[in-house]
A and B are shown apart, each in its own frame.
Chain A
Amino acid sequence: MWIYEKKLQYPVKVSKCDPMMAKFLMEQYGGADGELSAALRYLNQRYTIPDRVIGLLTDIGTEEFAHLEMIATMVYKLTKDENAREMMAAGLGAHYANHDKALFYNNAAGVPWTATYIQAKGDPIADLYEDIAAEEKARATYQWLIDMTDDVDLQDSLKFLREREVVHSMRFREAVEIIKADREQKKIF
C-alpha cells in the first residue's frame, strides 16, 4: 500500500503568476514523458520484472508521484489568482472552458493522458530500456521548460526535477547490467 506524507519532496516557490508557463508545465503532468506516465509505467512493470529490480521500480515509481505533486503545485500556484480572461490570454481558454482552474491530466497542447504512452512488454531488457529512454526524454523536457521561464524560483524546482531524471536513468542502466549478469551466470551453471 502507499502512505501519504503531507510535504513536498522539494520546495516549490514561484515569484509571480504565469498561466502560460503553467500550460507548458502540463507536459510534465499529463504528457507522454511526464510524471504520471513515469509513475504508472514503473509501478505496473514491477509485477513481472525479475526480483532483483522490483525494489528499484517500486522506489522510483513512488518518487515519481512526489514529482507529480510538485508539478501540480507549480501549475496550481501559477494560475491561482488568474481570472477567465487571463487564462484565455495565456492560451488556457480551452482548458478553462472544460475545467475552470482544476488540474487535469493533459499535455501542454491539451491532449488528455492515454495509457498508450506507456508499455509493459514482459521482457525485462525491453522494459528497462523504455524506462531509461523515458528518463532521458523527461530530462530534456525539463531543460526546455527551464529555458522557457525567467522565474528563478521556478527554475530552482525544475532543476531539482531535471537532476532526478539523471539519477533515475543511471539506476535503470545499472539494473540492465544486473539482469545481464544474472543471465550470464545462469548460462554458466
Chain B
Amino acid sequence: MDQSSGQSDRPQESPQRPVAGDEAYRRQLEEIQKVDFVLVELNLYLDTHPTDLQALQQFNQLAQRRRQLAYDFEMRYGPMMHFGHSYSRFPWQWPETPWPWQV
C-alpha cells in the first residue's frame, strides 16, 4: 500500500519516531555495547599493563567515541544513566521502560 501521498488525515507522525526497545533501539544500543566491550577489555588490560602507551591511546580514543555514541542514543531514547550523568526531557524520563531485562 502506498501511504506516501501526503494526504493523510491523521496527525503527522514521523516514521522514524524513536521507540525504546524496538529493532532500531537494539541496533543502536549494540553499537555502544561493542565499543564498551573494547573499553572494558582495555581497562582491565591497562590495570596490569599501565605503561602500554598504544593501549592507552586506543582507550582514550574509544572513550571519546563512546561519549558521542551515548549522546546520540540518549537524544533518541532518553537517559542511560542516573544521578546527573545523563540529561532528561520533561517529564522526568529516567523511570521510563524498558529496563534492560525487558528489552
Contacts and interface: CB of A to CB of B under 8 A. Distances in A.
A9 B37 CA distance: 8
A17 interface: no
Interface in B44-92: 44-45, 47-49, 79-83, 85
Contacts, number: 64
Which of B30, B81, B99, B103 has the most A CB atoms < 10 Å from its CB? B103
Interface residues of A, number: 27
A11 B26 contact: yes
Contacts of A59: 40, 43-44, 47
Contact of B81 (A4, A175, A178): A4
B48 to A, nearest CB: 4
A5 B85 CA distance: 10
Contact of A175 (B26, B30, B36, B48): B48
A55 B100 contact: no
Interface residues of B, number: 25
Contacts of A178: 48
Interface SS majority for chain A: helix
B48 A69 contact: no
A97 interface: no
Contacts of A9: 33, 36-37, 40
A6 B103 CA distance: 11
B44 A171 contact: yes
A146 interface: no
A3 B32 contact: no
A25 interface: no
A76 B40 CA distance: 26
Contacts of B30: 11
Interface string A1-25: 0011111111110000000000000
Given A60-B44, A63-B44, 16 more contacts: A3-B81, A4-B81, A5-B80, A6-B100, A7-B80, A9-B40, A10-B37, A11-B26, A12-B101, A56-B44, A56-B48, A59-B43, A59-B44, A69-B100, A72-B101, A174-B48
Interface of B: 26, 29-30, 32-33, 36-37, 40-41, 43-45, 47-49, 79-83, 85, 99-101, 103
